[in-house]
Homo-oligomer: A and B are copies of this chain.
Amino acid sequence: MLSGSKSTVSRVMNDTPNVDPQIVTRVRDAAARLGYRPSGTAQNLSRGRTGIVGVLVPDLANPLFATILKGISAEAETDGYRTLVADANEQPGEELRHLHELARQSDGLILCGPRMSTPDLAGLTELDVPIVIVNRKPAGSLFPSVTVDSREAVAELCRHLDAFGHTRLCYLSGPAHAAADAERWSALTSSIRSRTKLFRVPAGAMLDDGHAAAEAALATGATCLIGFNDLVALGAVARLQELGITVPDQISVAGFDDIVYARFTSPGLTTVAMPQTEFGQEAWRLLSPYLHARKTRRTRTLSAHLIIRGSTGPRQNSGARPGPAA
């Protein structure tokens, strides 16, 4: 009988140095033969860590979040971590519930563009789990966060539009509790020239929202529509085209994020690009050290940049109006 103790097996399975090579192979063989695989759960309990990071997103169907998630996964994977995903379906009320559950299964949490209230966010400290926030600066910087500074890029967008003669802009606003919505709106209001009128029409975060809001936006007489994000902008473009209105000839459209579709529609969408993959990478890099030791809480600010494509052009003199339906 080849005795062999649990510890030895454990050492072999964990590639601990100082194990007799003979034993190593013997154990490996036996394991392979018996189809033995260490129980992750038992390892987790014993080690006091799960190797899992919980990620909360408002909506996985939004390519922005899918991309951020990919960034997190890729980076976390290099440290042997996996991602447990919770999709709140754009329902702020669901977020807390998800987080409480995620927290019990993971070593740390990454919140992508959380829609929950600031007090709720602050209350998360009680979870007593390392948390990193992406795309929203937590009040009082309670948590490390990776945010983006889009002021300069927005200012650039405004100059771009101004140069094209646009003096009536309409912002298709995002979900009520999206921090990015407030920031974008504020960046716009502080960037436009005094001669420029800025309207605001409620939309949402998805294609349908932009599609649905397009007509209301048109009614403001704006010559350029700016979507809360690219999905909203693209939804609006679709609606405009249905109405027989040509972009950018009759009306210009711009968005935020630079999701991959912005590049592949025609006309291409002018947009304030977010560093999507970096969001994910940086989020992990902030979280990772935090998992091992309570390190200093930091914040990382990335910067957005303007990408000009075909959806913005010179303002039409006569203002946009529906043409013959497509």
Residues of A within 8 A of B (CB): 35, 37-42, 44-45, 50-52, 60-61, 63, 66-67, 69-70, 73-74, 82-87, 89, 100-105, 126-128, 207, 211, 234-235, 237-238, 241-242, 260-261, 263-267, 310, 326
Contact = CB atoms under 8 A, between A and B. Distances in A.
Nearest to A43: B104
Contacts of A89: 70, 74
A243 to B, nearest CB: 11
B41 A50 contact: yes
The majority secondary structure among interface residues of chain A is helix
Contacts of A85: 69, 73, 82-85
Contacts of A128: 35
A51 B50 CA distance: 14
B260 A207 contact: yes
* A100, A235, A241, A267: residue with the most chain B Cβ atoms closer than 10 Å: A241
A267 B242 CA distance: 9
B87 A105 contact: no
A127 B35 CA distance: 8
Contacts of A237: 266
B207 A39 contact: no
